[in-house]
């Protein structure tokens, strides 16, 4: 099924000049960039984005991290895009990520883990319009 998913290149990876490398990994697998921009989130914007995690012990630390510097947000489109993006990213915890995945290669730890991707169609339906209006998605 054709799907769209929201991907974020997180502040740790942007700081290390990995934007091109990470985008290439998705494009090489035949996924298409439908929208893309560089932004810096405020703490409040990061809290709104990760509102589903508000009761988690890592919510404060995660939202501090996500607002510490610029990120690249993008909409990626393709057949089965949500699952394929998650496979290319690897497990949330880089210690458990498979060889050749973005997180295995570039994540620092479970929090500073280089990338985010929507985990379900429901998440994508919240996350895509959080950053992009319809006329920005091509
Ligand atoms: P992400 O895919 O963006 O979804 C939620 C984020 O919370 C996750 O990647 C990590 O950056 C962070 N995260 C998830 N679990 C933990 C944890 N146990 N400790 C710290 N941060 C976490």
CATH number at residue 68: 3.30.70.141
Residues 6+ apart with CB under 8 A from 86: 117, 119
The rounded Å distance from CA 135 to ligand 1 centre is 30
Is 109 a member of any domain? yes
Catalytic residue, from 14, 116, 124, 131: name it.
116
pLDDT at 51: 98
Evaluate: CB of 110 within 6 angstroms of ligand 1: yes
Atom 1 of ligand 1, nearest CA residue: 116
Is 116 a member of any domain? yes
Is 67 a member of any domain? yes
Is 115 a member of any domain? yes
Q: Any idea what the Cα angle at residue 1 is, between residues 136 and 135, rounded to 5°?
A: 10
The series of mean pLDDT values per 10 residues for the chain, 138 residues long, is 98 98 98 98 98 98 98 98 98 98 98 98 98 98
Residues 6+ apart with CB under 8 A from 66: 8, 10, 11, 41, 46, 49, 50
Per the annotation, the verdict on 53 as an active-site residue is no
Please check whether residue 67 is in contact with residue 45, taking contact to mean a CB–CB distance below 8 angstroms. yes
Atom 8 of ligand 1, nearest CA residue: 111
pLDDT at 19: 99
Strands (E), 1-138: 2-9, 32-39, 71-79, 115-117
């Amino acid at each position: 099924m054709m799907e769209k998913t929201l991907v974020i290149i997180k502040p740790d990876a942007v700081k290390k000049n990995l934007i091109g490398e990470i985008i290439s990994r998705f494009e090489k697998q035949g996924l298409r960039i439908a929208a893309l921009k560089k932004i810096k989130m405020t703490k409040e914007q990061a809290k709104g984005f990760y509102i589903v995690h508000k009761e988690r012990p890592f919510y404060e630390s995660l939202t501090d991290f996500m607002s510490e510097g610029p990120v690249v947000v993008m909409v990626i489109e393709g057949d089965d895009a949500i699952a394929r993006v998650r496979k290319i990213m690897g497990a949330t915890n880089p210690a458990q990520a498979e060889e050749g995945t973005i997180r295995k290669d570039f994540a620092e730890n479970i929090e500073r883990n280089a990338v985010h991707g929507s985990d379900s169609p429901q998440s994508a339906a919240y996350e895509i319009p959080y950053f992009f209006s319809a006329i920005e998605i091509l």
